[in-house]
Amino acid sequence: NAGVMQNPRHLVRRRGQEARLRCSPMKGHSHVYWYRQLPEEGLKFMVYLQKENIIDESGMPKERFSAEFPKEGPSILRIQQVVRGDSAAYFCASSPVNEQFFGPGTRLTVL
Amino acid sequence: QQPVQSPQAVILREGEDAVINCSSSKALYSVHWYRQKHGEAPVFLMILLKGGEQKGHEKISASFNEKKQQSSLYLTASQLSYSGTYFCGTEIMDSGYSTLTFGKGTMLLVSP
């Protein structure tokens, strides 16, 4: 059973471009969570999704950020018009019920 | 409502014990513990649910005091592989669904 997969592992964008991060949950997991981690800091919750539904997006910035988890395919975290402050590691986690299992993360660098 | 972890950092010699604490101002339904090595993903260690205590690893155990809204992670006879940053994630009672709020982490360094 493959673990949580994320791609790309590293993403470099210039200010103003769009960043698209993908997350494929573990087989059988219907819950997906996105977190942002800044250097030397903890994981900050961004959004919780189930298939075709956003359950909790209280941690998402109101502008430029969006997330989806379609019926088919991976979950996508989209950041429009990136700024330098968006540089961070973005982790997704999937869960069958309680435990959350993390993917390897996408390290976004905004130049 | 970010849980507070203490200490911020611990330096041990191989074979020594350590305790990492996690406390919340909110009533908790569960506490999750993770270890993250530099540049890697957090790895799930164990979950402690309200009304129960669960041990995830042989020399790593944890307790959950529901009344005090605290959890402690116990690492006994530490090994070099225990080095990393430990995070607790808390799930509060009235959320209606499972989302975690993580503490800032406790950095653990085990030296030979």
Q: Nearest chain A Cα to B44, which residue?
A: A101
Out of A41, A55, A103, the one facing B104 most closely (by C-beta) is: A41
Distance from C-alpha of A53 to C-alpha of A68, rounded to nearest angstrom: 8
Q: Nearest chain B Cα to A106, which residue?
A: B41
Q: What are the tokens at A75?
A: 């979950």
Chain Cα centroid distance, residue B102: 10
pLDDT band at B59 (very low <50, low <70, confident <90, very high): confident
Q: Give the tens place of pLDDT for each residue, B78-112.
A: 999 999 999 999 988 666 677 889 999 999 999 99
Q: What is residue A15's three-state secondary structure?
A: coil
pLDDT band at B56 (very low <50, low <70, confident <90, very high): low
Interchain pair A55, B105: CB under 8 A: no
Distance from C-alpha of A35 to C-alpha of B100, rounded to nearest angstrom: 10
- At B87 the pLDDT is 96
Distance from C-alpha of B101 to C-alpha of B32, rounded to nearest angstrom: 10
Closest CA to B87 of B108, B63, B66, B109: B108
**Chain B contacts of A35, Cβ < 8 Å?**
102
Per-residue pLDDT of chain A (111 residues; tens, 9 = 90+): 579 999 999 999 999 999 999 999 999 898 999 999 988 788 999 999 999 999 999 999 999 999 999 999 999 999 999 999 999 999 999 998 778 999 999 999 999
Closest CA to B50 of B93, B16, B12: B93
**Chain B contacts of A103, Cβ < 8 Å?**
41
Q: Give the tens place of pLDDT for each residue, A31-44.
A: 999 999 988 788 99
Across chain B, what does the average pLDDT equal?
89
- Arithmetic mean of pLDDT, B8-21: 96
